[in-house]
Structure 1
Amino acid sequence: MLRTLAAIGTDGDRRYAGDMAALWLRFQAQAAEVTADRALALRARDAIAPHEGRWAVALYGYDIGGPMALWRGVAEAALGDRDAAVAAFEAAAGSADALGARPWALEARTRLAAALTVRGGPGDTARAAELRDRVRAEAAALGLATGGPLPAANVFRPGDGAAGEEGVWTLTYDGVTVHVPDAKGLHDLRQLIANPGTGIPATSLLSPDPGAPVPPGADPVLDDEARARYQRHLAALDEEIDRAAALGRDEKATALDAERAALVAELRAAAGLAGRPRRLGDAAERARKTVTARIRDTLRKLDVRHPALAAHLRASVTTGTHCTYRPAEPAHFRL
C-alpha cells in the first residue's frame, strides 16, 4: 500500500478520475489509517466530504465500496477526531441498513464499536460491547463469523486540541481506554511503537528534534584534582536524578537535571586551563539512564491506570543505549 501511494504521488486525482474515483478516495482513507499520517488523513477527509450521503461505486458498478460516510469515519479516526468518527460510522451504519446491505452494516458497526472504545465517554464502553455482540450474532447468521472476539482498536496518541484535551493522552489496549497526563516517557514509547523491531538510540529519544545537535560522547574537564571533584559531584547528581525519577518526582528530577547541565556548562567554559582538556561524562550513558528512568516511571504509572497495557509494553520494550519495541505478537496502534 505504501509503495503504491508513493508511486502515485500527487497525481492520484487526475489518474483515478471517473469510474476509478471512488476506489481512489477509499484507498486514501485506508492509507491514512495504516500510516497515521495526519496530512494524508486531512486530504482524504476533505476529498470525501463532497460525496457525503453517497456510496463508493466504481468500475461502472462492478465495485461497491460501502457508504462514503464509512471512509470519512476512517479518515476522522486517523485524525483523532473521536466525535466526528463516531458520527460518521453511525451514519454509515444507517445508510447500509437503509439499503439492506448487511455486510456493510456489520463493517460500519465494527468500526463504530472501535471508535466508541477510543472515545471512552460516558456509556461508550458498554455500547461498544453491545455492538460487538450484535456484530458477532449477525455475522454468524450471514455465515461471516470471525471465529473469535472482534478486536478493538489500540491507540497511543496525545490530544491535539481539536481531537482531545491539550496535554492529555488517549491510550487504548485490549478494549480498555484511559486518558493520562503528558509525560516524556509517553513520547519515548510512542516513538518506539511507531518503529517496531528497530533499535532507536537513547540519544535520539532524548533529543527527538532531528535538527538538534547531538552532544559529543564526552564533556571537557579540568586537571586531575578538579576532574575528581567534578566526577564525584556529577555521580552524586546522577544518583539523585535516578532516585527522583524512580519515585515519580518529576519536578525534582528536572531541577537536578538543570543543575547538572549548569555544571557541565561550567566545565566546558573552563576546559583547557590545565593545558590539556580531558573528557568526562559519556553522553550516550547519560541518555541511556535518563530515557530508561522515564520509560520505567511511565510504566509504573500505567500499572495503576492500565495494567494490561503496562504488561504488554514491559514485555515488549527493551531499554539501553538503544531502545526497541519488539512485541511477541503484532499489536497495531493508532499513533
Structure 2
Amino acid sequence: MSQYTKRTLKDEIFFNKINAAKKISLGTFPFKDLKEIQIFKIMERYLSSGRTFIDTAAFYGDRRVERILGRVLKDFNCECFIATKVGYFRKKEEYQDQNYIYDQVQYSQELIGQKINLLQIHEADWDIWWLCDNGSLSYQNMFNKAPVIKALTKIKQNNDTDYIGITGNNADKLANIAHNLNCIDSVLLAKQYDLLWRNGRGKLRNVIEQKNLFYIVGAPFHQGRLLNLDSLISENSHFDKEMAEEVEKLKSLIIKHGLNLIKTCLEFLLTDPLVDLILVGIKEENELWWLDYKLKHIPDEIYKELLSIGFIRNATKGIPYKIN
C-alpha cells in the first residue's frame, strides 16, 4: 500500500488489527442483563478464539457493560479492536452540545480502559442529531457541521479514535446521512437486513459501495424473531398478508433444501460480498457455537432463491426510550 493511499477501515480490519475474514464478531447488547461472571466466561471463550473485535455502547445497561468490559479486558491483558457508540442522551439539548458529547466519549474510554478504535453515533437516523439552530433538519453539507460531527472529528484529530461510524435501524435515512457526511468510515445497520427484512440491500448498500464504507450488520436473527417463522406468519396473517406470504416462502425454502435456519441466517449475510462484519449478540456461552463451526457461503442457486423473497418494512421496535 502506498504511503499516499488513504487507509480505510477495511484495510485496518482485514489486514492488520483482527482476524475478521470470518466476518462474525461479538455484539454485547444482551450483556446488560447478565451477571459479571457470565460476561467474563463469554469473553474468555470469545477472545481465546483469536477474535478481538468487540462492539458495545454507553447505552447498554447505562454504561454497566462498558464498565464490566473494562475490567474483563484488564484481567485478560488483551488489546482488542473496540467499537462503541455515543448517544441515547436524556435531554434534547445534549444532542446539540459539542462539549457534552466530547465528554461522554472521554468517559467511555475511561471505563473501557483502551483506545476506542471505532467511535459510532448511536441511532444516527434520529433527527435530533441533525437539527439546525432554527430547529429544522440539516441538509447536504450542513450534516458535516452538526455538533456531534465536530465533537467526533476533534476526538479523531486528538488520536483518541481511529475511525468514525454511524448506526441505526432506518436504512434509507442512514443512506442519506452517509451520502452527505465526509468523515465516516462505517455504517452499522440493525434489524433491516436479514433473511426477510431487505431494506439494507437498497439505497444504503449503493452508498456503501460508492464510498467504500465498512458495512456492519447487526441483529442477524432480528432479535430472535426470525427463529420462529410460524409465529411471524401468525402475527401478520391478518394485517400484513404480503409479509406473511414472504415468511411462508422462506419456511418452504428452508424445508425444501433441508437448511438449518439459525446457520442460514448467518450464511445468507456471509454470502453478500459487501457485508464486512456481522454482529451476534450473546446471552450464554453456548451461543458462541459459530466460533468453531465452519460457516460457508450459500450455493448460488439457493442464494438466488433467498434473494427472491423478503420485504421492505420498518424494523421491529426496540426498547422504549424517552427524551425530555
TM-score (norm 1): 0.28
State which structure, 1 or 2, has the greater radius of gyration over its C-alpha atoms: 1
- When you count helix as a share of all residues, which structure comes out higher? 1
Name the TM-score, length of structure 2 as normaliser: 0.29
